[in-house]
């Protein structure tokens, strides 16, 4: 049988087959979906650019944060401050391997070490201190508690954090968060809040009896321990603890930073989830999003931490 020559374009249009019409709604749907995705993608890129410039656009993480530095108060008294972290959290052990951090631990530790050296703090890598009966994240409590007797303040940093603006001192941050200059009296715990409430990834603890008892109580919240998910439970335990603290005690001992970006900024990632968050909690998102000039970047909840760390450290290279 001789092959039939293909019908000319004119012939095809002249005799539309009924199936063409049945495909039309599907085609329209596909075009609409593609346009919607394109629009969302465009919106996300545009929003990312705007959010990254939050500080240039007038956001203030704290008044007069820039330029004020140095670790002394009026009396010339220096405080001993330790930055405590595990440089290789998890190390591929246990759940959440997708978020594993191997290979970048050293880079992040170097970043913290350089900042501590510049400012006269001590960087403590408490990685050897992990209690493997719980997800490693819980051991931050043990690490902080073990260092507290030797310092005036301990600044806890999860492993997925980097100092992006080393010109800002921790004393300046504490003054801004506490709202006064006396760092030798309570509050004892200084935290930030994101759209989920208090974040346990980055916080300050002052050496005091209250702090020691608080850390013990936090560690004792064993019913919150979770295995096999991205949640290990220590953050939920902290939130529960703060929620159930008597109001008077909370007021006296715990300070929530007026702005998350004072010392715990999250990068903007173009996902539907973050877009949804931006529209449901615009103020909180704006106050917590990482913008150029912010002190600390925290890759909270992100998967591709390795790429983030090296990209951001590249950005920091002095020009």
Ligand X SMILES: *[C@@H]1O[C@H](CO)[C@@H](O)[C@H](O)[C@H]1NC(C)=O
Residue 48: C-alpha distances to residues 34, 233, 249, 267, 275 (Å):
21, 30, 39, 9, 10
Q: Which is nearer to ligand X, 250 or 316 (CB)?
A: 250
Q: Supply the minimum distance, in Å, between the C-beta of residue 214 and ligand X.
A: 8
- Widest pairwise Cα distance in the chain: 103
Q: Supply the minimum distance, in Å, between the C-beta of residue 138 and ligand X.
A: 14
Residue 194's contacts (CB-CB under 8 Å, 6 or more residues apart) are 260, 264, 266, 284, 288, 300
Count of residues engaged in binding ligand X, rule: CB under 6 A: 4
Q: Supply the minimum distance, in Å, between the C-beta of residue 220 and ligand X.
A: 4
Q: Supply the minimum distance, in Å, between the C-beta of residue 247 and ligand X.
A: 20
Q: Which is nearer to ligand X, 249 or 311 (CB)?
A: 249
**Binding positions for ligand X, 202-261, rule CB under 6 A:** 213, 216-217, 220
Q: Which is nearer to ligand X, 123 or 218 (CB)?
A: 218
Q: Which is nearer to ligand X, 211 or 235 (CB)?
A: 211
**Binding positions for ligand X, 2-31, rule CB under 6 A:** none
In what order do the strands lie in the sheet containing 254-256? 122-125, 81-85, 153-157, 197-206, 189-194, 254-256
Task: Extract the tokens encoding 261.
Answer: 């970006």
Q: Report whether 164 contacts 255 (CB < 8 A).
A: no
Q: Supply the minimum distance, in Å, between the C-beta of residue 222 and ligand X.
A: 9
Q: ω before 79 within 30° of 0 (cis)? A: no
Q: Supply the minimum distance, in Å, between the C-beta of residue 237 and ligand X.
A: 12
Choose among 192, 85, 95: nearest CA to 139. Answer: 85
Q: Report whether 162 contacts 110 (CB < 8 A).
A: no
Residue 303 to residue 53: CA distance in whole angstroms: 23
Q: Supply the minimum distance, in Å, between the C-beta of residue 243 and ligand X.
A: 17
Q: Supply the minimum distance, in Å, between the C-beta of residue 148 and ligand X.
A: 14
Per-residue x/- mask for ligand X, residues 298 to 317, rule CB under 6 A? --------------------
Can you say whether the dihedral through the CA atoms of 39, 40, 46, 47 is positive or negative? positive
Q: Which is nearer to ligand X, 186 or 281 (CB)?
A: 186
R_g of the chain computed on alpha carbons: 25
Task: Extract the tokens encoding 299.
Answer: 């890759």
Q: Which is nearer to ligand X, 79 or 140 (CB)?
A: 140
Q: Can you tell me whether residue 121 is helix, strand or coil?
A: coil
**Binding positions for ligand X, 114-133, rule CB under 6 A:** none
Choose among 212, 181, 166, 187: nearest CA to 79. Answer: 181
Give me the residues that bind ligand X (CB under 6 A), please: 213, 216-217, 220
């Amino acid at each position: 049988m001789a092959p039939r020559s293909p019908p000319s374009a004119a012939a095809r249009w002249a005799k539309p087959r009924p199936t063409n019409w049945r495909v039309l709604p599907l085609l329209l749907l596909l075009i609409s979906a593609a346009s919607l995705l394109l629009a969302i993608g465009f919106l996300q890129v545009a929003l990312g650019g705007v959010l990254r410039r939050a500080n240039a656009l007038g956001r203030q993480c704290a008044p007069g944060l820039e330029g004020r530095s140095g670790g002394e108060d009026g009396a010339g008294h220096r405080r001993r401050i330790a930055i405590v972290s595990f440089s290789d959290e998890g190390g591929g052990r246990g759940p959440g391997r997708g978020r594993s951090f191997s290979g970048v631990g050293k880079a992040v530790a170097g970043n913290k070490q350089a900042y501590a050296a510049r400012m006269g703090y001590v960087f403590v890598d408490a990685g050897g201190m992990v209690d493997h009966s719980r997800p490693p994240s819980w051991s931050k409590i043990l690490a902080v508690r073990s260092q507290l007797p030797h310092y005036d303040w301990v600044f806890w940093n999860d492993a997925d954090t980097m100092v992006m603006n080393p010109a800002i001192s921790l004393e300046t941050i504490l003054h801004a968060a506490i709202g006064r200059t006396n760092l030798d009296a309570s509050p004892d715990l200084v935290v930030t809040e994101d759209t989920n409430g208090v974040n346990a990834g980055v916080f300050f603890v002052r050496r005091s009896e209250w702090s020691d008892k608080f850390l013990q109580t936090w560690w004792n919240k064993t019913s919150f321990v979770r295995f096999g998910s991205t949640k290990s439970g220590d953050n939920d335990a902290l939130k529960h603890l703060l929620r159930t603290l008597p109001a008077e005690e909370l007021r006296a001992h715990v300070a929530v930073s007026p702005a998350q970006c004072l010392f715990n900024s999250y990068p903007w990632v173009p996902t539907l989830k973050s877009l949804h968050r931006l529209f449901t909690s615009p103020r909180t998102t704006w106050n917590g999003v990482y913008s150029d000039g912010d002190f600390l970047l925290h890759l909270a909840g992100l998967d591709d931490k390795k790429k983030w760390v090296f990209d951001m450290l590249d950005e920091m290279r002095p020009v």
